[in-house]
Amino acid sequence: MSEENQITRRKVIAGLGAGLTTGVASPVFAAAGTMQEDVTTQGLEDPTTKYPRPPFKGQSQPWPGLAGQMDPKPDHGEKSYKGSGRLKGRKALITGGDSGMGRAAAIAYAREGADVAINYLPAEEPDAREVIALIKAEGRKAIALPGDIREEAFCQKLVADAVSGLGGLDIVVSNAGRQQAHQSILDISTEQFDWTMKTNIYAPFWIIKAALPHLQPGSVIIGTTSEQATDPSADLYDYAQTKAATTNYVRSLAKQLGPKGIRVNGVAPGPIWTPLQVSGGATQEKLKSFGGQTPLGRPGQPVELASIYVQLAADDASFATGQVYGAAGGSGHP
């Protein structure tokens, strides 16, 4: 082949290559541009600055505290949680549904299409009314069931009233909890110890027992445990014990109820900004720096766990049982 022909051949091949590159690359670049536009529309959020960071103001409330009086107010998903119908037609009972993770779960469940009954203490009525209004705004049934779960008879009535009001029951979220900080075991009275145990351990036992006859295959039970179950704080002696117990009952019940088609899982938060902290669950010193020790440098907000409660309740998580899902801001627990 002459040198002239070789040069001509190289030009043709180079031209074909350039044409092919242009023809193939253009759609890729167009797609990439579209993707970039979508990402820009959705926005990326830096988790370290997404929510308030310490130092926080010193503040205290009498037990059990109200989210509406906290500064800053927690985000339970009132405006930020968007549903997609993942729990359409489901019927949920949530204890401690007025604030904290229970409120976040209630809002998320309603926006995912579920009817929701919430339990709370009568002193928490102002917070509870807000939750009921948010559930109803989604066109879902909202059942308010105030009362003290430290009594077995009330727990039995709670379940019966939830079943009656909702027309059935297939999601039970045992979330209500009592947390009080004490520097020494010597500072905890038998009455206080009993209060924590009755709220955090006895109540789920009574509620689950009452609910089981109503739960069909495909139903779920979700317990709220904590990073305290595996890494207890020195000043949460009694509370931490109850969370270790919660983790264990989740795993035990999952084995017991698995053959019946009922899944049992747990959610283990790290430091989350809830009324527990301002009503005796943390010292004023710890409150001011609350969550600052996490790798993200801040406490979590209840809404940041809402999607976990949804996932554990949804049918597409049908192989997840006996699991504990954590959200602790990078501390590695559970």
- In tens digits, the chain (334 residues) has pLDDT values of 444 444 444 444 444 344 434 443 434 334 444 444 444 467 899 999 999 999 999 999 999 999 999 999 999 999 999 999 999 999 999 999 999 999 999 999 999 999 999 999 999 999 999 999 999 999 999 999 999 999 999 999 999 999 999 999 999 999 999 999 999 999 999 999 999 999 999 999 999 999 999 999 999 999 999 999 999 999 999 999 999 999 999 999 999 999 999 999 999 999 999 999 999 999 999 999 999 999 999 999 999 999 999 999 999 999 999 999 999 999 877 7
pLDDT at residue 331 in the model: 84
Domain boundaries defined on the chain? 1-44, 67-327
What is the model's pLDDT at position 41?
64
In a 3-state reduction of DSSP, which class is residue 129?
A: helix
How many angstroms separate the CA atoms of 274 and 66, rounded? Answer: 9
Whole-angstrom Cα distance, residue 306 to residue 251?
21
Active-site residue, from 51, 109, 239, 249: 239
- Cis geometry, peptide bond prior to residue 213 (ω within 30 degrees of 0): no
* 67-327 is a CATH 3.40.50.1970 domain: no
Do residues 325 and 314 lie in contact, with contact meaning Cβ atoms separated by under 8 Å?
Answer: no
Q: Which residues contact 201 (CB under 8 A, 6 or more apart)?
A: 242, 245, 246
Residue 334's pLDDT is 74
Lookup: tokens for 257: 């109820």
Question: Is the Cβ–Cβ distance between 181 and 240 less than 8 Å?
Answer: no
Our answer to whether residue 51 is catalytic in this structure is no
Tell me the H-state helices in the chain. 3-42, 100-111, 125-137, 152-166, 190-197, 203-211, 237-257, 275-276, 284-288, 303-313
